[in-house]
Structure 1
Amino acid sequence: MFGLLLLSLLVLSGVASAQQAETLQAAGIPALTVTTNEAGQGEYTVTLQILAIMTALAFIPAAVIMMTAFTRIIVVLAILRQAMGLQQTPSNQVLIGITLFLTFFIMYPVLQDINTRAIQPYIVEDITPLEAVQIAREPIHDFMLSQTRQNDLDMFTNLAESQSGLDVDGIEDPTDIPLTVLIPAFVTSELKTAFQIGFLLFIPFLIIDLVVASVLMSMGMMMLSPLIISLPFKIMMFVLVDGWALVMGSMAASFGI
């Protein structure tokens, strides 16, 4: 019964969509119009531009995660929470919120450069959409390149040369490295840096766990979990040294802020 009802709704919605499309076509609303300007370049209607923007919105989460400081920050915060022995505090929502705002803080110079050089000229129609995209690519490309290790970049460049036939000898300027090579190299470098920072954060908490476990063993309290005793000491130490400020400042400084 439910299947018949769903099928009927789909059929009715299809008929309604077809009638609406015929009405729009009869009214003369163009869905796709490409005109050629005086320079010989193609210009698209606002309808097609909106369609392209809505399609690009689906890639924004991936771009935010893989092309900004987001990856390094969220991995470090997750390792910090694990090192302190707190499974759900702070919660995932809080960690993601902190990561988003700290990412915005670190990426603000890049975003401001994109806004000044690409977005504002496009709004006043001084440049075309394709030119705006090309100009906006440069600041984010420079940011990722500055944070990418040379060995990671060489590895993916060699892989691209062997698999897709990339002409490595033709790349004389690092700014000419394509994003298809730079993005995976950047993500690899970010993960390595995040785990290095996480290792340094783990050491003091590990020492506290070892001391508490040794004291409990010497007292013969082997049945008592050391995590229960060490957790308050780790929280107290983290608060006394102003740990959140140190962690946030260190991560911002690792990007050259």
Structure 2
Amino acid sequence: MRGEGTLRQGKRGQASGGKPPGGRLALLVALLLLPTAMGLAAPGVPALAVTTEGSGEQTYTVTLQILGLMTALTLLPAAVMMMTSFTRIIVVLSILRQALGLAQTPSSQILIGLTLFLTFFIMGPVLDKAYQEGVRPYLQEEISVTEALVRTREPFRHFMMAQTRETDLQLFAEIAGQKAFESPAQVPFSLLVPAFITSELKTAFQIGFLLFIPFLIIDLVVASVLMAMGMMMLSPMLVSLPFKLLLFVLIDGWSLLMGTLASSFYIAP
């Protein structure tokens, strides 16, 4: 029968050690692709390498530069909050919301957005100077990566030094075991950043205290009047809220606050 003949031919092929056509085709394709695979696996331009030039400067491969850039982008939010005017502004706006007695108005998203754009406005000269002195020459291949980082960092150093109190710098210098610095350029970034944040928090709480006083007076007056009228079951916060909003609107509070916050930062020349 036909099935028995096919079975005999299959057994005869296995007995003779022959390979099926599919196996031969796969072996042929593997032999043809082997040189190509070896060529792809051959080492090309090293991905992570540092080359020292004759002048002593070190150049990094593009892959290493991209890796450093991606790492820096992950730290960008922390740098925006800790090395700019962001901290002072958001703390003052949060205290103002509490002083007005508004729990969720304006919302946190609005406060953060307002703080972010006001920060860009205040930090405009610093960012422009950092770009002109550090980023732009590097993009034009006039300076190396190391020199570009140093030049970009200097405008931020001047800005933070202008806002930082000497007592805070001295405090962190004593903690770190550092001696007195002869010039601001000698202060390391690892010491300047925490001192700057501490000074910003102090200044923000001072401004917030001054903002809180007029609204606190309104709360005290309203509470005294309600108690004198015997209306103890009525919440003083509920009655004083319209008066505080009216006072804030009549004095054009938002313009005064934004102008005061913007002018409270000293931009070092």
Identity of counterpart residues, as a percentage?
63
The correspondence for 2:215, drawn from 172, 186, 205, is 205
- 1:170-200 Cα offsets, whole Å, 9 max, x none, are x321221001111111111100000000000
CA drift at 1:25: 4.3
The answer to whether residue 90 in structure 2 is matched with residue 71 in structure 1 is no
**Distance in 2 of aligned mates of 1:246 and 1:119:** 35
Match of 1:232 among 226, 239, 242: 242
* Letter matched to residue 188 of structure 1: T
User: What CA distance in whole angstroms lies between the structure 2 residues aligned with 1:104 and 1:76?
Assistant: 17
Task: Name the counterpart of 2:111.
Answer: 95
1 CA distance for matches of 2:242 and 2:153? 47
Bigger CA radius of gyration = 2
> 1:59-99 CA deviation, whole Å, 9 max, x = no partner?
11111111110000000000000000000000000000010
Q: Are the aligned partners of 2:85 and 2:119 in contact in 1 as well (CA < 8 Å)?
A: yes
Which consecutive residues of structure 1, in runs of 5 or more, have no partner in the other structure?
A: 1-21
Gaps of 5+ in 2: 1-37
Structure 1, residues 201-234: CA drift from partner, whole Å, max 9, x if none? 0011001111111111111110010111111111
Count of aligned residue pairs for this structure pair: 230
Matched, 1:178 2:188: yes
Runs of 4+ in 1 over 6 A off after TM superposition: none
TM-score for both structures, normalised by structure 2 = 0.82
Partner of 1:85: 101
Task: After TM superposition, list the pairs within 5 Å mapping 1:209-228 onto structure 2.
Answer: 209-228=219-238
- Structure 1 residue aligned with 2:58: 42
Corresponding residue SS for 2:123? helix
Look up the match of 2:31: none
The corresponding residue for 2:25 is: none
Structure 2 residue matching 1:43: 3-state secondary structure = strand
2:131 equivalent among 115, 118, 123: 115
Q: TM-score, normalised by structure 1?
A: 0.85
Matched with 2:252 is 242
How far is 1:159 from its partner? Answer: 1.2
